[in-house]
Amino acid sequence: MEDVLALLSREPRVYLLHKQADADAVGAAVALSQRFPGTIAGHASVGAAATRVAERFGAKVQLDPPLDGYAVGIALDCGSPGMLGALPPGLPLVVIDHHREGGWPQVQARLVEPETTSTCEVVLKLLWALGEGLQPDEALALLCGLVADTQRFRLATKDTLGSAFVLMESGAELPEAIALLEQPAAEERSERIARLRAAQRAEVEEVRGWLVARAQVGSYEASAAQGLVHLGADVAFVAAQRDAEASVSARVRRGVELDLAKVMQRAGRSLGAAWSGGGHAGAAGLTGKGDAARALQACVQALREGA
């Protein structure tokens, strides 16, 4: 840890976040940069929750800034260098992570703890070792990463709870961390209208023991389907018609054992060659040329026939 701290004290420093940075990466960068100010560099994009966390602390994440001229780069939560953009060959690197590390070319020091549930907890240990405790803002930034990476404590270990306790003792409020992470990604009025319309129009029936809701909206069908699941549906199908084309988004409640990708593939086949369906087990879709209402009907039928 001493070698990590020695390198961290070099200036100027840049914090390196992985592609599509999450709250764990950003929380770690925010907390470290309060003590060791530096540029926060994202790569390619930053996730929605991570963006809210950064904004809450007034931190700026620069996307792929020039990395020449820094005395040290601190790679946070990255797993492997493939998650970063190109690095200047001479840049000394510190790796702080909870992924098993792979293939770092120019690492001078590392603090890598694969048993730890978040990079933010690794950073907590580092900051704690400085012997000055934590400021409430540092603690809150770290708590955001801890809560995000443990899926709201679902994956928490005894050590996670110990870290969370220290962070809350330092002034972090758990409800604030959760609210920062859970605020809907899109606060667009039109999207909220689509979700409300879907709820208003939903037809609900029981299929194979599941509560199935279906509805048609003008747009934001994926968000609307997720909304119906939040309201209580086990499975939700929401369709939108765009001129001659229609698409259906399907979502399933956590814990429902159903492969929606297969359901949507089957629905696509039943509708004919102008349609195709697929996706993931928990979130899938169907698109094609034709009528949205008919596509919804095909989805429910495919679910009914499913294995």
Which residues would be at the binding site for Mn ion (CB under 5 A)? 24, 77, 119, 149
- CB-wise, 20 or 276, nearer to Mn ion? 20
The DSSP call for residue 199 is: H
Q: Residue 45 Cβ, how far from Mn ion at the closest point, in Å?
A: 16
Residues 6+ apart with CB under 8 A from 135: 34, 170, 171
128/67 Cα distance (integer angstroms): 29
Q: Answer left, alpha or beta for residue 209, where phi above 0 means left and psi between -120 and 50 means alpha.
A: left
Q: How far is the CB of 148 from Mn ion (least distance, A)?
A: 8
- Which CB atom, from 19 or from 294, has the smaller least distance to Mn ion? 19
By beta carbon distance, the residue nearest Mn ion is: 24
> Which residues, listed in sequence order, are joined to residue 19 by a DSSP beta bridge?
43
Helices 158-169 and 136-149: angle between axes, nearest 10 degrees: 150
Query: Which helix or strand (DSSP H or E) is residue 97 part of?
Result: strand 93-97
Least CB distance to Mn ion at residue 127 (A): 17
* Minimal distance, residue 34 CB to Mn ion, in Å: 19
Cα angle 41, 43, 46 (rounded to 5 degrees) comes to 90
Our CB check for Mn ion shows the closer of 100 and 189 to be 100
* Distance, CA of 120 to CA of 76 (rounded, Å): 9
Of 10 and 99, which CB lies nearer to Mn ion in the complex structure? Answer: 99
Cα(222)–Cα(247) distance, integer angstroms: 10
Nearer to Mn ion, 138 or 149 (CB): 149
Nearer of residues 123 and 296 to Mn ion, judged by Cβ: 123
Minimal distance in Å, beta carbon 257 to Mn ion?
27
CB of 79 to Mn ion, least distance (A): 9
H-helix or E-strand spanning residue 203: strand 203-207
